[in-house]
Amino acid sequence: RRPYQYLYKDDMGFNFMHTETFEQIPITEGLIENADLMKEGQIIEINFHAETETPLTAELPAFVELQIIQTIPGEKGNTASSTALKPATLETGAEIMVPIFVNQDDIIKVDTRDRSYSERVRN
């Protein structure tokens, strides 16, 4: 496992840079679970094959902080249930379900293992 910084996505896949050697490598989308939760500049762990040095998997941190760029406003009186959810689009383009009280432009913590809302960081 080695730390790499996510740089950008292109036709080759996702491009990463090793944080110490500055070596750059492309990784195909199939090797990254929940790749749409990754934002540029984020550090992830890439697992390599011991003999061939080819990338096997890329793991996001357990939690990431992302800004909500679009969601419908929560309406007062619509919160009788603490489990009431609505769809939200994040800055990476990913869509997840968030509680009614979360608003557009809020920054939230997302669990990358199951794509669930964890908490509101700030609004």
| Residue 123 confidence (pLDDT) above 80 | no
Q: Tens of pLDDT along 57-92?
A: 999 999 999 999 999 987 665 555 567 899 999 999
pLDDT at 82: 60
Tell me how far apart the 2 most distant CA atoms of the chain are, in Å. Answer: 60
Q: How far apart are CA 44 and CA 112, in angstroms?
A: 12
pTM for this prediction: 0.86
Domains 2-59 and 63-122 share a fold: yes
Question: Domain segments of the chain: what residues?
Answer: 2-59, 63-122
- Integer CA distances (angstroms), 100 to 15, 90, 117, in order: 35, 15, 12
Q: Tens of pLDDT along 11-59?
A: 989 999 999 999 999 999 899 999 999 999 999 999 999 999 999 999 9
Domain 2-59 CATH (choose: 3.40.50.2000, 2.40.50.140, 3.40.640.10, 3.40.50.970): 2.40.50.140
Q: How far apart are CA 73 and CA 36, in angstroms?
A: 24
Q: Tens of pLDDT along 93-109?
A: 999 999 999 999 999 99
Tokens 């009280």 correspond to: 101
pLDDT at 12: 86
74 vs 110, higher pLDDT: 110
pLDDT at 88: 98
63-122 has which CATH code? Answer: 2.40.50.140
